Amino acid sequence: MASEALQAALGERYDALSTSLRDRVVTFVLSAFDSLGSYRDAEAAEFLDRVLPAVLAAQQQMGQITDAYLSALLADMLGGSAAPVGVQLPEALRGVDPAEVYRRPFVTAYTALSQGKSYAEAVAEGRTRLVSITETDMQLARTHAARQSMQRGGARFFRRELRSGKSCALCVIASTQRYRVENLMPIHPGCHCKPVPLVGSKDPGQIIDEALLREAHDAVAKGVGKADAGGRAPDYREIVITREHGEYGPLLAVRRHEFTGPDDVPGS
């Protein structure tokens, strides 16, 4: 019981720190975006000079607190002392120059104007995309750091833990599965789940939370009129899938969505 209480306390502290960090950086980039007199190329360059150092520093900080959390969690689960040694996160988490990524809200605004939308509508669309980009990059920092930390700590499998009250159906169903540590946790834009290591070297099997999966089946049944606890009618493995995204890596998706590249994901 003491161990469970400690692990819960570690999780709550990590959630508070990571949420605060993400909220602060989103507030900062929005403030910088809103303060621009216009959204032309010169202002875009000014914006990038101001926000990129802060965004990249926040991503590294997310990596460090994730490493500290998982090191402490694994030490409690496996015995021993917590010894976070740091993680190495590239600036280009997506494999794309961050300057190019954070210029995209301006492209979104220009595109909206070219489609005949009002200036206010165009700026609002750019603003929405900026939030999605920033939140996704913070989540990518978390997942990249978690993979390094868990591999170093000797974990072989992990699960995804839902954020209380703010999880979408994709994440709920995905949280009933186990994942291998060598793989990045699948995400989607706006995802707030965190990876949690599973104790032991024995594969617990694909489904690790039958009860929650059954609840998801029941919820889907209300919407589509049928469900099957065996996951065959409809087959949830065919509905909620993982696609490899050109920038995010593994991406939670619904099979009917066909993505041909990074720009085909809204808010990427």
Q: Which of 103, 130, 154 is the last residue of a domain?
A: 154
Asked whether residue 255 carries a pLDDT value surpassing 50, the answer given is yes
Q: Summarize the confidence of residues 11-24 as an average pLDDT.
A: 94
- Are 160 and 33 members of one domain? no
Q: Which of 154, 175, 207 is the last residue of a domain?
A: 154
- Are 256 and 267 members of one domain? yes
- Are 128 and 191 members of one domain? no
Q: Residues 187-225: pLDDT tens digits?
A: 777 788 888 898 877 887 777 777 777 776 676 566 554
- Are 120 and 165 members of one domain? no
- Are 135 and 177 members of one domain? no
Closest CA to 268 of 163, 166, 145, 135: 135
Q: Residues 170-180: pLDDT tens digits?
A: 788 888 888 89
Provide the mean pLDDT of the chain: 82
Q: Residues 116-167: pLDDT tens digits?
A: 999 999 999 999 999 999 999 999 999 999 999 998 888 899 988 887 656 6
Q: How confident is the model at residue 63 (pLDDT cuts 50, 70, 90)?
A: very high
Q: Which of 93, 120, 154 is the last residue of a domain?
A: 154
Whole-model pTM: value is: 0.80
- Are 118 and 224 members of one domain? no
Structural domain span for residue 19: 1-154
* Number of domains observed in the structure of the chain: 2
Q: Summarize the confidence of residues 47-66 as an average pLDDT.
A: 97
